[in-house]
Amino acid sequence: MTLTPTLIEEYDRAALNHDKTETATFGLGCFWGPEAQFGALAGVVRTRVGYAGGRKSDPTYHNLGDHTEVFQIEYNPAVLSYRELLSRVFENHRPNYQASKTQYQNIILLATPEQRETLNTFLSERGFAADAIGTRIERLLGFYPAEDYHQKHNLRTDPTLSDVFDDSGYDDETVRESPAAAKLNGYASGHDIPKDDHLQTALSRTV
């Protein structure tokens, strides 16, 4: 098996539909790195980067206003839990520190009462109080996808991988929402993807 347009298309068609996944949104500084790291995880189906946490309408990278760079994850709750995602998030930042620039701050954006309850339990077990740490904890009021050139940044800069999507006729939005692109973006950034993933077998023959 090699990495081909047909494999990419079949991988995406077989992926869990949006209505079968759950979504989590976090900010951990520049969004390129976390999108790649979390996209490589078993159970993560789709990723995208964008802007959230502020009140400005229709923010852009060059006119961000009071928003923060964030990454959004669609995941299979039968494989990966919100609590496990929180563990990863807290492994990747210092909760008692906060960047001064809003664009790169650490933030957990809660979309449901269940996420808030899970977070409160998680923090309590670690001796943290939500109102006494540097990490911002807020309700998700909206998510604005970032510009196309920010989506799957590491994949886009690796022609060996990105050319396969071009050959498949994927446009920018399709790449952004592609489960295969989420995994291969992680791989392009140096993260291991699950050994039992079909893409891993193809990569060993292609790259």
Does the annotation mark 30 as catalytic? yes
- Structural domains of the chain, count: 1
Q: Is the pTM of this model over 0.85?
A: yes
Per-residue pLDDT, 130: 81
Nearest-angstrom CA–CA distance, 18 and 47: 12
| CA torsion angle 147 148 153 156 (round to 10) | -160
Per-residue pLDDT, 196: 80
Query: Which one of 16, 30, 79, 99 is the catalytic residue?
Result: 30
Per-residue pLDDT, 206: 54
Q: Tell me the CA end-to-end span of the chain in Å, nearest whole number.
A: 12
Give per-10-residue mean pLDDT for the chain (207 aa). Answer: 88 96 98 98 98 96 97 98 97 92 97 97 91 94 97 96 96 98 97 86 64
CATH number at residue 59: 3.30.1060.10
Residue ranges making up the domain that contains 69: 5-206
Per-residue pLDDT, 194: 87
- With the C-alpha atoms ordered 117, 119, 71, 157, is the resulting torsion angle positive or negative? negative
Residue owning tokens 């790169």:
104
Per-residue pLDDT, 200: 82
